[in-house]
Structure 1
Amino acid sequence: MALQTQKRGFTLIELLVVLAIVATLLSIVAPRYVHQTDRAKEAALKENLSVLRRALDEFYSDSGKYPEKLPVLTERRYLRALPLDPVTNRSDSWVPVPGTDDDDKTIVDVKSGAQGKALDGTEYSSW
């Protein structure tokens, strides 16, 4: 008697069902992942702005005036390096806010140079 071997495999319907399940799971997980990375960038941006503002305040406390340029904070070792703006991925995109006097060229605050809106609807440039 001859022994017959049967080839086993998945049917087309079984493959389509598995692909539909995988697509459904990806459609649930992918948006959460994207929003999570955006939240992480926004949290890092807020922290970097806080670090820069704290360094400006410490500079003012020590010298009695604010710096005229942001790199002065690294030259005088208030910061090791200017932090990156995580939205633009650059350290030179910070927007310095000058003093209120017309002749005042010092930097009293700093804002993000990133374009666009955050998840809460506010502009990055207003932070």
Structure 2
Amino acid sequence: MVRTRHQPGRGLLAVVFGRSALAVGGQGFTLIELLVVLSIIALLLTLAVPRYFHSIDTAKEAVLSENLHIARETIDKFYGDKGRYPDSLDELVSEKYLRSLPHDPITGSDSTWTIIAPETPGAKGNVYDLKSGAAGTTREGKPFAEL
């Protein structure tokens, strides 16, 4: 066994093999170490990213349900106050029942709503109900247009 005395500024392998510390890798990472770290990060991302996108979709569906609930309550309040349904969604904003039109988070717009007219003959106004104009289904398989 070779006994060496440790010299400050030089790693043990550098002393044994007579190289500088930088040549042995004492002040940096080897390519293998970097590849191992990157592969661990990639593995963790493959576990986290699907959960992240699932959470985004869940949040969008919750916001859509809440926006539809608020809009429907507002239409009912308008009917209770005026005795008729609004002629358009813009009338709810102009009459100060809503600050702005609700946003459909699935389509990313506030102009893709499907407006349902009153089925009662002789009912005044054009907006009885509101549905999402988004194509596709929820996580449970229910079409967005049926929410």
Q: TM-score, normalised by structure 2?
A: 0.77
SS in 2 for 1:107: coil
Residue aligning to 1:115: 135
SS in 1 for 2:21: coil
Q: Higher relative contact order by CA 8 Å / sep ≥ 6: 1 or 2?
A: 1
Residue 124 (1) aligns with residue 144 (2): yes
| 4+ runs deviating over 6 angstroms | none
SS in 1 for 2:110: coil
TM superposition shift of 1:17: 2.0
Segments of structure 2 that go 5 or more residues without pairing to the other structure are 1-17
**1:17-42 superposed Cα distances (whole Å, 9 cap, x missing partner):** 22221111000100011111111111
1:6 alignment partner, one of 7, 21, 25: 21
TM superposition shift of 1:101: 4.3
TM superposition shift of 1:5: 1.7
SS in 1 for 2:128: strand
- Aligned residue pair count: 125
CA distance in 2, matches of 1:13, 1:5: 20
1:26 alignment partner, one of 45, 48, 54: 45
TM superposition shift of 1:15: 2.6
CA-based RMSD = 1.8
Segments of structure 1 that go 5 or more residues without pairing to the other structure are none
Which of the pair has more CA radius of gyration? 2
Relative distance call for 1:75 and 1:35 in structure 2 (3 A) is same
Q: Percent identity?
A: 43
Deviates more, 1:57-66 or 1:6-15: 6-15
